[in-house]
Amino acid sequence: MTVSTLLNNIYRVLREHFGYLNWWPAETPFEVVIGTVLTQNVAWSNVEKSILQLKEQGLLDLTRLLTSKPEIVKRCIMPSGYYNVKYHRLMELLTFIKNELKGDILNLKKFDLLTARNKLLSIRGVGKETADSILLYALDFPIFVVDAYTKRTFYRVGILKRRDMDYDKVQEIFMKNLKRDVKLYNDYHAQIVELSKNYCKKVPICESCPIKRLCRRIID
């Protein structure tokens, strides 16, 4: 079975099992941007609490976030953890949007994918997963998001040679072997997250896993 066939079969099985997951849960592209920073190293349920508190304080707005007292913003994002670090990362990203994109993240779509990605990666605190999440979920660029779940699951499946493979090399495997499609990349990543939370955990639950027949079950 080719890598392309295996990847597509895994997606088909996951989609049948979990259904369409409608990810990223946000009302606006700007809300997605905020979420990509807050979700670093924390469960999404905690991010939802932070987003809700920002909304309740009327702070889900570029200008208001940049001009509000740091302690007020930090109090709102506290549920996301590491709130001091995330506050500064958020301010760096928002300042970039204000100064380089005329206050609108959608203006990044005026650039090609590589240029837009490099601009995001030039911002302090924005790594590849965060940048690609913004590109895919906020701006509809066709780029596959890789996270720790992706590496763990697809190492076990047998597609990745090492669990610690370079981000770009893992991404290349998916993008070379899947149709170049925003909706597919979007939902596939969501399916991987759902699989990892429910079955392909640190201690995996293999017997009831929906993709067990497609997996080599390399357990580490």
d(CA 70, CA 220): 42
- pTM score, whole prediction: 0.94
pLDDT value at 217 more than 90: no
pLDDT tens, residue by residue, 167-185: 999 999 999 999 999 999 9
In the structure, what pLDDT confidence band is assigned to residue 43 with cuts at 50, 70 and 90? confident
Do the Cβ atoms of 128 and 168 come closer than 8 Å? yes
pLDDT score recorded for residue 220: 58
Residue ranges and CATH numbers for the domains of the chain are 3-22+145-214 (1.10.1670.10), 29-138 (1.10.340.30)
Residue 43 near residue 27 (C-beta atoms within 8 A)? no
Average pLDDT, the chain: 95
Note every long-range contact of 121-129, with CB atoms under 8 Å and residues 24 or more positions apart, other chains counting. Answer: 123/92, 123/93, 123/96, 124/89, 124/92, 125/37, 125/85, 125/88, 125/89, 125/92, 125/93, 126/37, 126/89, 126/92, 126/93, 128/167, 128/168, 129/167
pLDDT value for 185: 98
**Whole-angstrom distance, CA of residue 7 vs CA of residue 29:** 29
Give the helix ranges, DSSP H, for 158-215. 167-177, 182-198
CA separation for the pair 152, 220 (Å, rounded): 9
Angle, in degrees to the nearest 10, between helices 83-100 and 29-38: 150
Pick from 118, 141, 142, 147: nearest CA to 42: 147
How far is residue 159's CA from residue 30's CA, in Å, rounded to a whole number?
A: 34
pLDDT band at residue 163, thresholds of 50, 70 and 90?
confident
Q: Rounded to an integer, what distance in angstroms lies between the CA atom of residue 56 and that of residue 183?
A: 31
Q: Report, in this order, helix, strand and coil percent for the chain, each rounded to 5.
A: 65, 0, 35
